[in-house]
Amino acid sequence: MTDAADAGTPTPDSGTVAGSAGVVDRGTVPERDPGLVGRVSATVGRSVITALLAVTVVFLIAPVVITFVASFAVEWTGVVPSGGVTFDNWRQALGLTETLGATRGLGGQLSLLGVTLPIPTTLGFSMLLALGGVVVNLVVGVPVAYAVTRYDFYGRGWLNTFAVLPVVPGIILGIAFLRTYPSLPSAVALMVGYSLLKAPYMVLAVQSSFESMDLRQIEESARSLGASWPRTLLTVVVPNAKTGIISGSIVCWTLAAAEFNFSYIVYSRGPKPFSLFLFENISNNPFLRASAAISIYFLIVVAVTALLQATGQRGFSIGGAR
Amino acid sequence: MSTLDRWRVLDRVRGGTASLLDPVTERDRERRRIAALAVPFLALALFGAFIPIVVMFRMSVSTSNLAIEGVSFVAYERLFASMLAFVPVLGDGVGADPVYGVVIWNSLWFGVLTTLASVVVGVALAHGLEKYDLPRQGLLVTLISFPISLPGIVAAFMMIVWFGKTGVLTNAFAFLSGADPGGIALTGQPSGTTLAILGLFLGYLYSMIPRATFLLRGSYAEVNTDAEEAARALGATPWQTFRYVTLPQIRPGIVGALILTFRTALAIFGTVLVLKALSVVTFRFNQEISVGFDLAMASALAAVFFVFTVVFTFAGLRYTSAEVTG
């Protein structure tokens, strides 16, 4: 009994190798008596943490719901909205009316190859920009994720670090772009920046897919059956990682569409990115119209989250989202 | 001996390049594959990050704001004089304007405060999500991860929804206490006031708590639950189990989360731009660039900011969790 208790004493088994015996000698082993903290935490600890979870979820999500509801309100002066339901805020935010507010909105309809789509220009343009970023991300992120997962080579650790850690913050990159590429069209600069800033999400997502496969075996089977290496990569390995690739693309696309810090510094001319449109709405427009503008983005995120659930991802939780 | 070594290295480099282009052995072919896989990423990193950063450093010592020409350390002199002027005793004799010292100090203390708060909350949330049998757990995870997708400007708007002059909580509180909503709102107050800073603090937490929680959930997933169960079975209270069994296991994760969350805190820009509650470094960039176009100064400040983040990230990660750097 005593033996078992001694052997089972929870000795902190962390990185503190030096002096771990000394720690035991000095008696930091827990007392038999749980003490006040122990008794309090045993009785209320669980309810406190559960309550904290509930408060946090309300703190994070309630304003999203309120914003969405407010976007349909005619008036909102007190605690609750009044005056019934209207779609005016949405119409103005989407730029579907010919008013002053609408010119600040998404403005006009997207014309592509002579066909006018019922998509507001800014929204459509931003979505395309973000899509461009995702394409670059795919070309860049999938191979590097494969290289660091499958092969062992000199500098692998560093390559991995730079691929999964956004080393340069968006605002710094923006300032660096100002002088480096002054004559580059805003659209191209934004696309390059988006792909660089969001690459970690793609790499992490694809890596987790690769890690769940026996890459060596798959590759060797395909090779021994006569497939060349590029063919193996493109027709065997990559299709197997499609879950990670799809969820990585969705996450990258959404985050790129809403990237603000970099866009704000770099954007100079041409169609405006969506995040700048959101910023103008937040800083210049009345509360209810800004609500409608932000709700557009909420709808996109909700749709994207539903898509992610379908691919087996729980929301935007890839790799802790750095 | 050393000369011989150097020749051998040169030969190896030359031989390496040749075998990359025209591989003979299977090992050479594998090296060529690795190079081919890494090249797109390296090209993006080179043109998208490395060259711009080098140009930024060059710009910070330029004599002109509109082009790169000459070498002058005026921007750095102003920056460091200003930082020195801010230091209480040492800076008394320095005649410089302490504005950069102030913004850097604001960034640091506010970043540390918000980081500590969000990591503490993050540990509690990750613990609850991982250890408790909660109803609709998947939904909870999805909801808590939702703000990760929101840019800082939207986080700021969420604070206006809660705590602005027309905000829900402000008005509810004003209704209950009879106070004037304008007097107790946490947003829209003059910059630097306690109420404004409290509003910004909550705005930072809105972005940082979800990130911290998901970083820590990763550490929690690797905790050895057998040891915890053994501790409980041997009579340890839940707190003792957490303190002596769980905490030592997640400690590297907590340090990693502190570092990465602090990086996030330093880089937050949109939230400050909308709420205008405290002049931090990122907010100063906006003033340098949009108010007076002082790109040399902005570049110098950005260079200091960049070096600081890189150094503390890599130093921190080196000493804590080897897994990030491999």
Using one digit for the tens of pLDDT, what is the confidence trace for B36-51? 889 999 999 998 889 9
Using one digit for the tens of pLDDT, what is the confidence trace for B144-169? 888 888 889 999 999 988 888 778 88
Provide the shortest C-alpha distance from residue B117 to chain A (in Å): 13
Is residue A17 scored above 80 in pLDDT? no
Q: How far apart are CA B143 and CA B164, in angstroms?
A: 23
Using one digit for the tens of pLDDT, what is the confidence trace for B88-146? 777 676 777 788 888 899 999 999 999 999 999 999 999 888 888 888 888 888 888 88
**What is the overall mean pLDDT for chain A?**
77
pLDDT average, residue stretch B229-246 = 86
Find out whether B65 and B72 touch, Cβ atoms under 8 Å: no
**How distant, in Å, are the alpha carbons of A137, A139, A233, A234, B101 from that of B36?**
16, 12, 12, 14, 46
Is residue A320 scored above 60 in pLDDT? no
Q: How many CB pairs under 8 A join A and B?
A: 318
Q: Write the CATH number of the domain with boundaries B76-325.
A: 1.10.3720.10
At A180, give phi and psi (nearest 5°). -70, -45
Q: Supply the pLDDT for residue B109.
A: 93
Least confident of A73-87, A222-236, B277-291: A73-87
- CB nearest to B146's CB, from A49, A309, A315: A315
Task: List the single residue in A with minimal CA-CA distance to B145.
Answer: A316
What are the tokens at A321? 């989202």
Q: How far apart are CA A248 and CA B50, in angstroms?
A: 24
Which of B125, B141, B177, B239 should we substitute to test contact with A (largest number of A Cβ atoms within 10 Å)? B239
Amino acid present at A66: I
With 0-12 / 13-18 / 19 or more C-beta atoms within 10 angstroms meaning exposed / middle / buried, residue B46 is: exposed
Using one digit for the tens of pLDDT, what is the confidence trace for B18-76? 777 777 788 888 888 888 889 999 999 998 889 999 998 888 888 877 777 778 888 88
Ordered by start, the domain boundaries in chain B are 2-60, 76-325
Ordered by start, the domain boundaries in chain A are 108-320
Using one digit for the tens of pLDDT, what is the confidence trace for B183-213? 777 877 788 788 889 999 999 999 999 989 9
Q: How far apart are CA B20 and CA B38, in angstroms?
A: 13
> Is A52 an 8 Å CB contact of chain B?
yes
Using one digit for the tens of pLDDT, what is the confidence trace for A197-254? 988 889 988 888 888 888 888 888 888 998 888 888 888 888 888 888 888 888 888 8
What's the topology of domain A108-320?
MetI-like fold (1.10.3720)
pLDDT average, residue stretch A4-29 = 45
Residues 6+ apart with CB under 8 A from B85: B91, B94, B95, B96, B97, B98, B101
Is residue A99 scored above 60 in pLDDT? no
